[in-house]
A = this chain, B = another copy of it.
């Protein structure tokens, strides 16, 4: 089966690029003497997760309890659910642990810490630290930190295992030096909080940091035990825009067909719209604006400057000025679209059509969507 034979729109994943991206990140993080815990939220795929952890690897971060269930059923037992837990999700977390998951949950809230402590089951808990994004987490120097830890362990059932932080504000940086500065703030916050917990008598085997930009440009990870980047497995136009990768690393694309073309309007219409691409416009804030996605030919070679300029539910509109290029985009022609934000785009599909650097479909990999 060739890409030209697939019904459109559909999702294409280049295994060769995933292998390069995952090998490179694993080597980089291991060179720092630190463990890699890939965040599975981007691919939500056991096949990608296996490439990301490498031989004998078993550690993942997940963004939903459904992912935890799915990856556990595929043999991944060392899991961090990296979104603040709520009391009514503790039963599900406990059931996963009963099935063999060494599931770590996180919180930054006193009421939740109390609920964890009084829950009938024993939980492994990380305190979430805010390293500057101000999304979730307590400050590393906040008195809340040790109070939260004490509250979690009050009943004697659940245990503090350390701290977790995420430098999401690295996405607002535009140079490697700026990312490195955020990475250092991320590292310092986690390490400082870990020291504080240890000084207060808590064990902290896990000092967890991570985002794709900071994992890529961080200079030192001293004191950190693990790094949790996510989108690097696929990369995307936004990451290319902020310097996390080159466009040669882009592993994920949407295959689409030209369904209409109007020379007088200078427009070509694709059958990939807001649902097939997502409405993420993150590259609008990066060095180059890829619209709703950068357009490439079937082999993955980008057409310079050609992007999806607008979307309707099932239509992607492309403005094409060059008459020669216009002529090559006749109705029925298939193109590939590199998305702004791989996590958002991939979520619209159940399956990856896998290629291996070429245009032959060599496999199909399933995703674990939803909640």
C-alpha gap A259/B87 in the complex (Å) = 9
**A14 within 8 A of partner (CB):** no
Contacts A8-B371, A314-B83; A111 near B331 (Cβ below 8 A): yes
Cβ B135 vs Cβ A312 within 8 A:
yes
Kindly report how many copies of this chain are found in the complex they form together. 2
C-alpha gap A345/B15 in the complex (Å) = 30
Q: Which residues of A (54-110) have their CB < 8 Å from a CB of B?
A: 63-65, 83-89, 92, 108-109
Interface of A, helix, strand, loop or mixed by DSSP: loop
C-alpha gap A30/B279 in the complex (Å) = 35
Cβ A370 vs Cβ B344 within 8 A:
no
Contacts A88-B257, A136-B269, A279-B279; A111 near B330 (Cβ below 8 A): yes
C-alpha gap A205/B92 in the complex (Å) = 56
Q: B residues within 8 A CB of A261?
A: 109
The interface stretch among A176-184, A239-247, A347-355 is: A347-355
A279 touches which one: B86, B111, B280, B317 (CB < 8 A)?
Answer: B280
Cβ B134 vs Cβ A265 within 8 A:
yes
Q: Which residues of A (1-56) have their CB < 8 Å from a CB of B?
A: 7-10, 41
Q: B residues within 8 A CB of A278?
A: 278-279
Contacts A257-B88, A260-B136; A371 near B111 (Cβ below 8 A): no
C-alpha gap A315/B130 in the complex (Å) = 15
Q: B residues within 8 A CB of A330?
A: 111
Q: B residues within 8 A CB of A370?
A: 348-350
**A298 within 8 A of partner (CB):** no
C-alpha gap A135/B261 in the complex (Å) = 10
Cβ A135 vs Cβ B317 within 8 A:
yes
C-alpha gap A36/B315 in the complex (Å) = 23
C-alpha gap A257/B89 in the complex (Å) = 10
Contacts A8-B371, A265-B134; A315 near B83 (Cβ below 8 A): yes
**A271 within 8 A of partner (CB):** yes
Q: B residues within 8 A CB of A63?
A: 313-314
The residue in A85, A274, A317, A350 that gathers the most chain B C-beta atoms within 10 A of its C-beta is: A274
CB distance from A135 to the nearest CB of B (A): 6
Cβ B7 vs Cβ A314 within 8 A:
no
Cβ A10 vs Cβ B135 within 8 A:
no
Contacts A136-B315, A348-B347, A348-B370; A279 near B276 (Cβ below 8 A): no
Cβ A260 vs Cβ B108 within 8 A:
yes
C-alpha gap A156/B162 in the complex (Å) = 74
Contacts A261-B109, A265-B134, A348-B370; A332 near B88 (Cβ below 8 A): yes
The 0/1 profile, CB within 8 Å of B marked 1, for residues 130-143 of chain A is 00001110000000
C-alpha gap A309/B81 in the complex (Å) = 24
A260 touches which one: B87, B109, B271 (CB < 8 A)?
Answer: B109
A-B contact pairs, 30 of them (CB 8 A): A7-B65, A7-B371, A8-B86, A41-B313, A63-B313, A63-B314, A83-B314, A84-B259, A84-B260, A84-B269, A84-B331, A86-B257, A86-B271, A88-B332, A108-B262, A109-B261, A109-B331, A112-B331, A135-B312, A136-B260, A136-B262, A136-B315, A274-B344, A275-B343, A275-B344, A278-B279, A279-B281, A313-B343, A347-B348, A348-B370
Q: Give the top 3 A-B pairs by smallest Cβ distance, nearest first.
A: A84-B259, A279-B279, A136-B260
Given contacts A83-B259, A135-B315, 15 further A-B pairs with CB under 8 A are: A7-B65, A7-B89, A8-B86, A9-B371, A83-B315, A84-B259, A84-B260, A86-B332, A87-B331, A109-B331, A111-B330, A274-B344, A279-B279, A279-B344, A348-B370
